[in-house]
Copies of this chain bind each other. A is one copy, B any other.
Amino acid sequence: MKKFNVGVIGLGNRGSWWVTEMLLELEYVNIVGLCDVYADRIEKIRDQMLEKGFTAPAVQTVQYRELIDAPQVDTVLIFSAWSNHVDAALYAMKAGKPVGMEVGGAYGLEQCWELVRTYQQTQTPFMLLENCCYGEYELMALNMAKRGALGEIVHCDGGYMHDLRDEVARGNETRHYRFNEYLTRNAENYPTHEIGPISKLLHINNGNRFESLVSVSSRSAGLHAYICAHEELKEKYGDLQFKQGDIVNTLIRCADGSTVAIALDTTLPRYYSRNFTVRGTKGMYDENTQSFFFDGEDHSQTEWDWSPEFGNRQRYKEKWQHPIWKHYYEVGVKEQGHGGMDFLVIDAFFEALDQNLPMPIDVYDAACWMAITALSAKSITLGSQPVEFPDFTEGKWQKPQPQPEWKYAF
């Protein structure tokens, strides 16, 4: 693979991790530019690079436009606050510099349309770096679904179920954008981890599409209770009213009659889960019990007094492992970043660039997944009225195209 001269925008928790733990390890990546609105973050990463024996990046700037415009940078990666993602991506596409963008939701539908229009005008490669599309069991279920083992897929569930109370409540101290996001809006603010893999399963934008959604939000109680339970937080933030509901449930109807239920669940105590669940006429996968369930197999779950075969997914690996993960285990890449997903998604981006292949998670995927945030906010504001998805493909979804024969295609 050729070498890419990469400029990185956003060096908070996620961006720092990407640079120091992943990008510097990749032979085909030269980090030539660092950008963050906080100069000290740039310095910190630069110093870490120097310590590891790399040269200091030629471009160091608090202005993302300056980073993108710099002649040394040929590829842009965006790991910044959600609110900056689209602006930076649009600017990069217009500058003709291929762009990989971390996940987040859209603030309005016009942002999604701008992504689509700008890509159509510039044809600059764009990929949404949704790592969960490359999750091992997400891909295993996709593999089964493609090969018919689950029958017709009728419904999927997913969720971003991650106790972020400490991160959000201390966000003002740590400069984490979630603090203000949770203070000022109420939406399914992080839909892509679950909707990404589900969209690939349901052929969204390629034979199927999301038609409408409804969102219902609970009241906001978790952050306030958390803050009041910690004296140092209570003094400062005990009177704040967070707008973000603790649990936002969203139900989506698809053109083919299948449905999707997703949940944002980040400010009450719980274990981590993406609740990835696939329901077909022949079988199901359920992340919470880490088990598959097939029609006609001798499952203890078929008993009335069920005792689930917790974790039985291991036993299906040999037969149903997705080729991407067979490859991952075979080449023996060490497990890096969320159990390998981060390596796979970034490797897919650079390999697609190198081989001039269509991006596996393209601008249409990004637009329709990110739109959920804007649409859910609207539905909640309207008292849970159903709201329609725009068709960002403008009808092209009705003529499904075969995926290219390529390692990272879904």
Question: In the bound complex, how far is the Cα of B288 from the Cα of A276, in angstroms?
Answer: 13
Surface stretch bound by B, among A4-12, A90-98, A236-244, A380-388: A380-388
* A281 proximity list for chain B (CB < 8 A): 221-222, 225-226, 268-269
* A288 proximity list for chain B (CB < 8 A): 286, 288-289, 308
Let me know if A249 is at the binding interface, CB within 8 A. Answer: yes
* CB contact between A222 and one of B154, B214, B299, B304 (< 8 Å): that residue: B154
Question: Which of A218, A247, A288 has the most B CB atoms < 10 Å from its CB?
Answer: A218
Given A219-B258, A257-B219, A384-B212, check contact A269 B282 (CB 8 Å).
yes
Number of A interface residues at 8 Å Cβ cutoff, please give it. Answer: 61
Given A384-B214, A386-B385, check contact A155 B247 (CB 8 Å).
yes
Question: In the bound complex, how far is the Cα of B268 from the Cα of A259, in angstroms?
Answer: 14
Structural contact, A269 and B246, CB atoms closer than 8 A: no
* A280 proximity list for chain B (CB < 8 A): 268-269
Structural contact, B289 and A218, CB atoms closer than 8 A: no
Structural contact, B272 and A306, CB atoms closer than 8 A: yes
Structural contact, B302 and A271, CB atoms closer than 8 A: yes
Of residues 267 to 304 in A, which have CB atoms within 8 Å of B's CB atoms?
268-273, 279-284, 286, 288-289, 293-295, 299, 301-304
Let me know if A181 is at the binding interface, CB within 8 A. Answer: no
Structural contact, A294 and B269, CB atoms closer than 8 A: yes
* A305 proximity list for chain B (CB < 8 A): 339
Structural contact, B259 and A218, CB atoms closer than 8 A: yes
Structural contact, A268 and B383, CB atoms closer than 8 A: no
* A225 proximity list for chain B (CB < 8 A): 151-152, 281-282
Going nearest first, the 3 A-B pairs with the smallest beta carbon separation are A219-B257, A271-B301, A225-B281
Let me know if A217 is at the binding interface, CB within 8 A. Answer: yes
Structural contact, B249 and A259, CB atoms closer than 8 A: yes
* A308 proximity list for chain B (CB < 8 A): 271, 288
Question: In the bound complex, how far is the Cα of B229 from the Cα of A294, in angstroms?
Answer: 14
* A286 proximity list for chain B (CB < 8 A): 288
* A221 proximity list for chain B (CB < 8 A): 151-152, 154, 257, 281
Let me know if A129 is at the binding interface, CB within 8 A. Answer: no
Q: How distant is A385 from chain B, measured CB to nearest CB, in Å?
A: 7
Residue of B nearest to A217 (CB): B259
Question: In the bound complex, how far is the Cα of B281 from the Cα of A222, in angstroms?
Answer: 5
